Structure 1
Amino acid sequence: MVTAITQGVKISVETVYQDEYSNPANEHFMFAYRINIENLSEYSIQLKRRQWFIFDSNGTQREVEGEGVVGLQPVIEPGENYSYDSGCHLTTDIGNMSGNYLMQRLADETEFTVEIPEFQLIVPYRLN
């Protein structure tokens, strides 16, 4: 698990290789990840947007950007957590992702960016 804290918001990421949804012979490697967002601040916050940077070990890079996460723009109260699961496919058996969330403090509508720490996407047999 990797973790980062930005402006009182803690982001933790866990990844799992999805063997049953992968097809290495066709260069399709599927990974699932779980994101936990913990509001350590004294303010209610809302996740407004996300931006992902996805890297394959063959040099391919992708950027994914959009509103919310998994179709939602959750409000996270002080001391509370929000978790969600998502996935990513690569064309190689090693890669990584990183990114950021655009958050908004509800009290004064101030927007700020929270780092999503870089995490590795590695097929387990590559870890020998």
Structure 2
Amino acid sequence: MNRVVPILRMFDVALTKQFYIDFLGFSLDWEHRFEDGFPLYMQVSYGDCRLHLSEHFGDASPGSAVRIEVEGIAAFHAKLHERPYKYARPGLEKKPWDSTEVSVQDPSGNRLHFFESDKEE
């Protein structure tokens, strides 16, 4: 098996782009609509991480959770705090399952848990 690409539901394109692109630092790879005025389906990426975001009813349930492994979680956390985003100021948390995490919620209620393992391999 190879990469997993989660599909997350979105309701407000402008707020979703502000969150994923302006705040989290993802890049917009592409957008697709079957016709003008139809729901948007798009891909954003950050390094090897790819997420599909969809306005299509039934593509995904709002409020989903995704865990995304990150190298350099402290630096990622610091970058988030450098960006002006009034809806989130996430913490950097040590978890009892041997990881350090930054958790945020997108405008559609989806939860993203960015983590770095504290275990030595």
TM-score of the superposed pair, with normalisation by structure 1: 0.30
Q: Which has the higher strand share?
A: 1
Give the number of the structure whose residues are more often helix, by fraction.
2
Q: So what's the TM-score if we normalise by structure 2?
A: 0.31
Higher-Rg structure is 1
